Structure 1
Amino acid sequence: MNKDHQAVRVNDSFTRGLEKKWLPRMANATPEWITPDHMTLIGIFAAFVVAAGFLLTVYSPWWLLLSNIGLVLHWYGDSLDGTLARVRKCERERYGYFVDHVCDIGTVVLIAIAMGASPLMQMEIALFVAVGYSMMNVYVHIVAYTRQKFLLSHGKIGPTEFRIILILINFVIILWNPVLFTWNDEMFRVLDTAGIAIAVLLFSAFIYKSITGAIHLNDLDTGKKE
């Protein structure tokens, strides 16, 4: 990012305290031959593991356990690539920012398509969630540029919490996945219903934060606020 637009990382997620305590320790315990780029590759590999788990549910819902393993592995790689670089003082700011967020959006699209292609979720709903997540992602980068704040969480929910929620939903689906309701002759099961709820929250958050953010920036630019 441009030096004039350095953004301060803001994280108020539920898991912030635990991650702040344990991620540096995990980075210090990582063998020297493992680099931040290796961690990024682990995260990319894990995204394909998650996607494979969803696609394989055509044979059995127990394949969701593979997706859950992939989600844990993705947290490990995605959380530790930047932490490892900071601990070892080998940060490449622009490169890291670019690669991290390209991989993030690629991961979301890949997993959404896999979920939609599985028998567990309708493709339209999966893509609805992906679009909502992408809109919030764009909002984060706009705020980073205009207000120098890089928002890692919203309402106590960050990427780690999203993974935990998906892991819990997967466990529920393995044991219990009835049709919860029907609409226009379409059957909506657990993942469909959860996807609709998450997508609505993402779109609502984007609209609310965009409006309030615009009002705040207008006040700043017109001198109404310091």
Structure 2
Amino acid sequence: MKITKDTVATISYTVTKTDGQVVGRTEANAPVCVLIGHGFLIKGLEQALLDHKKGDEFAFTLEPKDSYGEIDKNLIQTIDRKLFGDFDIAVGNVFEADSSNGPMAVVIKEITDDKVVVDGNHPLAGMTLNFLVVVDDVREATEEELKHGHAHADGHCPSEHHHCCCGGKHHHHEDGDHECCGGHHHEDDDHECCGGHHHEDGEHKCCGKHHHYDEDSEHHCCCGKHHH
């Protein structure tokens, strides 16, 4: 069976920058499954998967326009330090900020006595990325999966807290690993850091999932539709 719209693909992959640095990969013995054609993968990855079958291993390169987009300068802002209140902030910390499109993650890039520079771009925005993908399985989606609009792992809906990449963001992460999940950033410049949630270890909780935004660490880039 080939990967087409409304099939469920289970994949493993490694993602590297043009200099060979690994910036994303699935965890050992933990491939991700996704319902194809329903917006849970970045555009370039989903297109590259089409017509492949179980056992295929292949490599391809994605430009920013087909992955995480170009860097949007409107999402890099300088704000008043007072908006962070008494938080003991540091470069690399991530906050959840309010925007016109809902909560979004912003990472602190620079701190002065009275100003803070924050960046709402996806950590891999603006990068050309190399993917090495292995197709572990392909199957028809069930009627329930099509109705729910996402894949079910081992017959369980992810709302039951079973492992699956449906919905785009599910992977454990340790030692500074980051799960970027193939998402797209919001193209808006109307966001504020007041009201954001701070995690001192650089971790943030966004849309119910945890991420690390340390640019020097490795990322877990499963699949994913949106980055907030």
TM-score tier by shorter-chain length is: under 0.3
Larger radius of gyration: 1
Higher relative CO (CA 8 A, sep ≥ 6), structure 1 or 2? 2
Q: Which structure is higher in helix share?
A: 1
Scaled by the length of structure 1, what TM-score is found? 0.27
Larger % of strand: which? 2
